[in-house]
A and B are shown apart, each in its own frame.
Chain A
């Protein structure tokens, strides 16, 4: 085995190395999951309680209070939860991955390993939470006697998840890299997430925008498409595959920009952090 340590001149994804260090994904995720729930008395129960409580609050405010309509007469609870389950992956994943390089600075300064592992495994934690939320999701569907196209759920949800993770990772890697250099992003990210919650059809239907610039944005928005896709099991309307394509395209572009920025700045993390 012979290799050379020198200044990186050309861009590479470093996939080979990522594969060599694959076990670290598991260990980073495993550590964060353990630590996250270790000190809480209710432990993993929180993974269930969080989306459930959010759903109840949003139902109370938006459906009962503001009279926001869901789609095709779906109970608002089911409607909100189907959006939140995707949204939570994005919001916690983005927050964790954007801060991940800074929180792990002490390790980064002392040991070498492919740095992309850090923001990546930060997202895997929210996928872990998703598994619990999914059980509740099924429970809610049954509880509200929601008519469901189970086949659609079976193939739409994975695509939707994939799209979400792709977007989260691209944006997360981008923000994580910038966060090392400009700590301001630590304060910007919560605002960004709050803004995006309302910019995405989590709590309202994307159908409310029929034409114009907002409808266009919804069409190209990967997250909006992911949410719509996860809901398509209930709406029984044709799936907007064109939108999914556009969304995937945008997600891939975000991913490319994010990973490119990250890889370019990566070498100097130890000097900056």
Chain B
């Protein structure tokens, strides 16, 4: 069996020059014909460097990597929006790409009209749209607004309609970029389910996302891109482990020693999972390595704040010399902080570390480090999923619902 998609030595180069504008103005050329010679030579930037891979029919490929790794450029080349500088891709099936939901939506047109417009831009024929029209409307759940201009829709409704159209594309190869990053949890789930259905039906999906769990449910094989180069391409779980372990070094922060001042020279965070991901409710440990100078200090204090993504402190812990003698002798000390069960809710956090002396109120160091992520792993998911930003602290509690008060009592009030 021949692969449905064969990418051979794809290279994409961009010039990043001194000019900030993506487009030129004639004035630049007319007024300054010599500029070209005077300008420092433009720098060549390789967004993709010798990328080769194969996808077999029915196989789905996840593409992961940090921002700027070249994922979107690769998808743009695959969808034919921009040509590669060199190399080629052999396709043995129709490609439809979904780099954005609702491309071609027009606010003045009604929902019905936008379904046709968007569908045909995505490459559907009119009869195909007619065929799927009821399903699309059904999936989007906007049937009562079909003849209302799109500008009156809420952004959630627009998104649902857009995804509904895209979900009914019928290509052999579907290229999807990070479109699930938007929308509410329930709808995201619905979309993921739909995409799963598509991949189960034997079609090929190329899927870019930062949501590793989505990648792992949708794809069996993945590619890890870094700076335009394929780091590895293998089974999704293997690739995800590789990807997260690349970020592991961030759990260890080291600072240079200052000979005459107390200095935190090392912070190491031990999250329950690799890649600075912590599973809710599991033990979390933070180790500090502190170098004390010759001069003696007798009132040292070390404290940490756990900050949330909005830079609010959500947790504070400290150790003061007054309560427990610390850091009294010169040399290297270690201090360890352990949480038996770390109960911060799903989200992104980082540490703010303070090293100070309480008597003189002198602060030696304040710095941010160890950004980490809490995930609700191995916990029963509520009906509506684990939604972001609903709280910072989460704990199990018991609800008791009683039925003591008689209805007559209420009435007499």
Residues of A within 8 A of B (CB): 1-8, 21, 23-24, 27, 31, 34-35, 38-39, 106-113, 180-184, 267-268, 270-273
Does B25 count as interface, using CB distance less than 8 angstroms?
A: yes
Contact of B122 with A111 in the complex, beta carbons under 8 Å: yes
Known A-B contacts A107-B104, A110-B99, A111-B99; A4 and B89 likewise in contact (beta carbons under 8 Å):
yes
Interface size class of B (residues with CB under 8 A): 35 or more
With A181-B23, A183-B23, A183-B25 already in contact, the answer to whether A6 and B84 are too (CB < 8 A) is: yes
B17 proximal to A (CB < 8 A): no
Q: Which residues of A contact B149 (CB under 8 A)?
A: 38
Q: Tell me whether A7 and B126 are in contact (CB under 8 A).
A: no
Q: Is the CB of A182 within 8 A of B24?
A: yes
Whether A182 pairs with B26 at a CB distance below 8 angstroms is: yes
Inter-subunit contact B78/A5 (CB<8 Å):
yes
Select one of B83, B86, B99, B125 contacting A5, CB under 8 A.
Answer: B83
A27→B121 contact, CB < 8 A: yes
Residue on B with the closest CB to A267? B83
| Interface status of B282 (Cβ within 8 A of chain A) | no
Is the Cβ of B108 less than 8 Å from the Cβ of A39? yes
Do B82 and A270 touch across chains, with their CB atoms under 8 A apart?
Answer: yes
Q: List 7 extra interface pairs beyond A5-B83, A7-B86, A110-B81, CB under 8 A.
A: A4-B91, A31-B113, A110-B99, A111-B122, A183-B23, A270-B76, A273-B23
CB of B100 closer than 8 Å to a CB of A: yes
A35 touches B104 (CB 8 A): no
Interface centre among A4, A6, A8, A24 (most CB of B within 10 A): A6
Contact: A35 with B121, CB < 8 Å?
no
The smallest C-beta distance from B166 to any residue of chain A, in angstroms, reads 11
Residues of A within 8 A of B123 (CB): 21, 111, 113
Contact, CB under 8 Å: A113 / B121: yes
Measured CB to CB, the closest approach of chain A to B220, in angstroms, equals 24
B216 within 8 A of A: no
Q: Are A6 and B87 in contact (CB under 8 A)?
A: yes
Across the interface, name the chain A residue whose C-beta is closest to B116: A27
Is B113 within 8 A of A34, CB to CB? yes
User: Distance in Å from the Cβ of B125 to the closest Cβ of chain A?
Assistant: 6
Chain B positions within 8 Å of A5 at CB level? 77-78, 80, 83-84, 88-89, 91
Q: Which residues of A contact B104 (CB under 8 A)?
A: 107, 111
Q: Which residues of B contact A (CB under 8 A)?
A: 14, 22-27, 76-94, 97, 99-100, 103-104, 106, 108-109, 113, 116-117, 120-123, 125-126, 149
Bound-state CA distance A91–B25 (Å) is 24
Q: Is the CB of B79 within 8 A of A23?
A: no
A23 — which chain B residues lie within 8 A by C-beta?
Answer: 120, 125-126
- Report B171 CB to chain A, min CB distance, Å: 11
B23, B25, B83, B121: the one within 8 Å of A107 (CB):
B121
Assess the B92–A110 pair: CB atoms within 8 A: no
Are A24 and B120 neighbours in the complex by a CB distance under 8 Å? yes
Interface hub of A38, A267, A270, A271 (most chain B Cβ within 10 A): A271
Determine whether the beta carbon of B90 is less than 8 Å from that of A2.
yes
* B90 in contact with A4 (CB, 8 Å): yes
**B94/A1 in contact, CB under 8 A:** yes
In the assembled complex, how far is the CB of residue B168 from the closest CB belonging to chain A, in whole angstroms?
16
A110 to B176, CA, bound (A): 11
A to B CB contacts below 8 Å, 13 in the list: A5-B83, A5-B88, A6-B89, A7-B83, A8-B83, A21-B123, A34-B108, A111-B99, A113-B123, A181-B24, A182-B25, A272-B22, A273-B22
Find the A residue at minimum CB distance from B102. A110
Contact yes or no, A38 B108, CB < 8 A: yes
Q: Are A7 and B116 in contact (CB under 8 A)?
A: no
Residues of A near B82 (CB, < 8 A) are: 267-268, 270-271
Nearest first, the 6 closest Cβ-Cβ pairs linking A and B are: A6-B88, A112-B80, A5-B89, A184-B26, A27-B120, A110-B103
Task: Find out whether the CB atom of B121 lies under 8 angstroms from the CB atom of A270.
Answer: no
- Asked if residues B85 and A109 are in contact (CB atoms below 8 Å), the reply is no
In this complex, what residue of A is CB-closest to B123? A113
In the bound assembly, the distance between CA atoms of A4 and B6 in angstroms comes to: 9
Q: Which residues of the other chain, B, contact A2 by a CB distance below 8 angstroms?
A: 90-92
Question: How far is it, in angstroms, between the C-alpha of A181 and the C-alpha of B106 when the chains are bound?
Answer: 25
Residues of chain A contacted by B126 (CB below 8 angstroms): 23
Minimum C-beta distance from B235 to chain A (A) = 27
Min distance, Cβ A114 to any Cβ of chain B, angstroms: 10
Q: In whole angstroms, what is the CA distance A273 to B149 when docked?
A: 28
Query: Across the two chains, which residue of chain A brings its CB closest to B91?
Result: A3
Q: Please, which residues of chain B bring their CB within 8 A of the CB of A267?
A: 82-83
The interface residues of chain B lying within 8 Å CB-to-CB of A8 are 83
When the two chains form their complex, are residues A1 and B92 in contact, meaning their CB atoms are under 8 A apart? Answer: yes
B117 touches A27 (CB 8 A): yes
Tell me the nearest residue of chain B to A3, going by C-beta.
B91
